[in-house]
A and B are shown apart, each in its own frame.
Chain A
């Protein structure tokens, strides 16, 4: 791993990310997102397992059912691109892992998976409640100066800092 290229300077990264987002707005008229792609895949799976119950659900019913497809959405394709971009980025920087787990010292793989899963569940719930995640709300909505998106972003940092001391030992 020692021959991996260093990460970009965060200020330059920020400008680069901003230019990607700006380009997205200029071309499409809306911004980037992430969580709803995972949501759509999950609801698609739910629909395969229990079609009637999924369509009857007041929330999932908006995503699946006759005439609707979980793939009829810009974000599913965008997140496919995110995956490919991450892959090429890591590969070309010599950072490609052969199936590793990123964890703090003294944290077992089982513990790490449990934390990742639990945190993921909380985020999945939170992103639906807030109508977006760090990408779709904070970053994208923040840059078009949406009031709720800024409130959301400060709430994310607040939630993170409040919880950080509790889970400190997992991130050493």
Chain B
């Protein structure tokens, strides 16, 4: 099987939107049947009266994590095609804290507010109107927030990558943690019920044990797939760093306009770099061919890396850099062809084509007329700082 279907072009956009509605239908149905269309049920989580938010949420996460690991391990699912939300540490911590505040104040989260609205709860739609106003408020404050919004960027980082262990092993760990959290939740519910002289929520042991056993069984099967050739392949595929790319022309104009916002690193052999490079680029040195020094750079700029032609493996140090990383599409050869060689005049002179041509001419003139400075090199942090300052182009 070729999963995920949409990512493997099994159907078109209009069909995808129809499927979106159907999947959303099941999502809404389950949320309603979980009791999440009522603010009182959701708020009960935070007073320990009924911790169904935690139980449903962790139960769902563990089910999905184990399931994905199984399909991946059996070779039915190409896990490298899954969309992984990118990590932005600071904004996600602050955003999470604020969302928690909004959750207990409003009694809903954005998704459950939709369900509440559907079931006829007017407080649900008022809450949704609030979400819309808050979105607009964020946009109005965006110029002030932009820097923080983009801070702490770590890319699409996952725990299997971070810990260097296969997905199935992490899935087992998450399952164990979830069962621990479930047991703790039941204890808390018992305490609170006793204190309030009320009954704890009904939790039939047979059902509970059945679900625990199911999760344990699924996680164990996931581990077994590691013995299969397909599973071993998934496990050793390693971190899939989907580094975004930047076009040569874009980089050429960014270097001129966004002074002090870029680091440019040439990862070709030091001798090639010393001979010819993009103005302002840093070269590797023989004693640090993996560019480990990048880990010590302040993550205040975007790091652009390039090799000879855009096909080489990037040095490890690039992934240790804490800020955003872009790879120059086509490498140095691409930059030479796009920027350093004289542009062709447009064959059809539309205003856009003429504007682009003028930009190309200006960039070409700038870069080919630029003096060759002595290449800054990466040696020590101190020297690096100086080198970057002297770099001129960036």
Contact = CB atoms under 8 A, between A and B. Distances in A.
A122 B109 CA distance: 11
A103 to B, nearest CB: 7
Contacts of A22: 63-64, 67-68
Contacts of A48: none
Contacts of B25: 81-82, 84-85, 88
Given A21-B64, A82-B115, A89 B134 contact: no
Interface stretch (B79-87, B245-253, B325-333): B79-87
A119 interface: yes
Contact of A156 (B39, B81, B96, B158): B96
B99 A156 contact: yes
B224 interface: no
A37 B17 CA distance: 13
The residue in A12, A138, A141, A148 that gathers the most chain B C-beta atoms within 10 A of its C-beta is: A148
A57 B232 CA distance: 48
A14 B124 CA distance: 22
Contacts of B111: 32-35, 79, 82, 133-135
B32 A11 contact: no
A143 B65 contact: yes
A139 B128 CA distance: 19
Contacts, number: 546
Contact of A148 (B43, B85, B114): B85
- Chain B: number of interface residues, binned into ranges: 35 or more
A35 B111 CA distance: 7
B52 A10 contact: yes
Interface stretch (B135-143, B235-243, B337-345): B135-143
B285 interface: no
B207 A12 contact: yes
Contact of A131 (B16, B61, B91): B91
B128 A96 contact: no
B20 interface: yes
B95 interface: yes
Contact of B106 (A31, A80, A90, A115): A115
Contact of A100 (B84, B88, B121): B121
B34 A13 contact: yes
Given A113-B123, A115-B106, A134 B99 contact: yes
The residue in B86, B109, B126 that gathers the most chain A C-beta atoms within 10 A of its C-beta is: B109
B122 A101 contact: yes
A121 B137 contact: yes
B172 interface: no
Nearest to B69: A145
Given A25-B64, A113-B126, A141-B85, A101 B101 contact: no
B98 to A, nearest CB: 4
Contacts of B55: 10-11, 13-14
B135 A89 contact: no
A81 B18 CA distance: 9
Interface in B34-52: 34-35, 37-41, 43-47, 52
In order of increasing CB-CB distance, the 6 nearest A-B pairs are A14-B59, A120-B130, A124-B134, A159-B100, A119-B106, A81-B24
17 contacts: A7-B35, A13-B59, A15-B60, A15-B63, A21-B27, A28-B5, A28-B19, A38-B131, A38-B135, A81-B27, A85-B24, A124-B110, A124-B135, A124-B138, A143-B60, A156-B103, A160-B101
Given A17-B56, A134-B103, 10 more contacts: A102-B107, A116-B107, A128-B138, A129-B91, A131-B86, A134-B109, A145-B171, A146-B87, A146-B157, A155-B94
